[in-house]
Amino acid sequence: MTQQAIVLKLFEFVILLFALSFHEASHAWMASRLGDPTARMLGRVTLNPIKHIDPLGTVIIPLAMLFLPGFGRFLIGWAKPTPVTPRNFTNIKRDEMLTTLAGPVSNLILALASLIGLLILETTSAEGKLSVIAAVFTANHVQLPMEGALPAMFPVALLFYIGVWLNLILAVFNMLPLPPLDGSHILRNLQYYDRLGMFSLILMVLVGGWVVNLFVSPALNAVNRMLLPSM
């Protein structure tokens, strides 16, 4: 594995930690706004990843996907579930739904913010445009169409680009109807979802990437066309 590949994977892991922390903090913030202080009292309304880390979902599985062969560009992860006490809500069904949706929506917001950052870089200077091109090619493991040193803004553009595709993946992945993902909370009234147990984890790893890719690939292709019209 080349040094560039290792750096790229570390970038992806750092962005994943931030995205998962933002996701869980959004659950906690929304629950607090709707009258349930449980997560806020436990210090979960924070971007500090230490408060949200799940050893398996935040560390072991993501690092295995990054550094073991066979996973390609697919990367998933999850954090420690945000505790919610539904009886504290005024309207339990509505408020629980809003609290659940706050997580995936937060990832879509991060993806949009990252895309806006890329467009600003691309349109404000020639160096910024070269940085965006280099980031898109590097993140997609394509040979760079340029020689010499990378532009100074390349690391920023790379972080933004990873922020787009990784947050799109997390938004879609978390809507899968598998516990403990957000999609299962939306379908909580179907009791068998809570009984899937370890089978749910197996499904996430084996078929989760294929399902998520059905939704994320068209969106990411549209982003690539926006940033690189000649592709």
Place of tokens 């560009």: 73
CA 130/CA 156 separation, integer angstroms:
12
* 186 C-beta neighbours (distance < 10 Å), count: 16
- Give φ, ψ of 216 to 5 degrees: -80, -40
What's the sign of the alpha-carbon dihedral 194, 195, 201, 205? negative
Catalytic: 127?
A: no
Q: Which of 12, 24, 96, 122 is catalytic?
A: 24
- Find out whether 76 and 65 touch, Cβ atoms under 8 Å: yes
In angstroms, rounded to a whole number, what is the distance separating the alpha carbons of residues 42 and 44? 6
- Cite the active site residues: 24
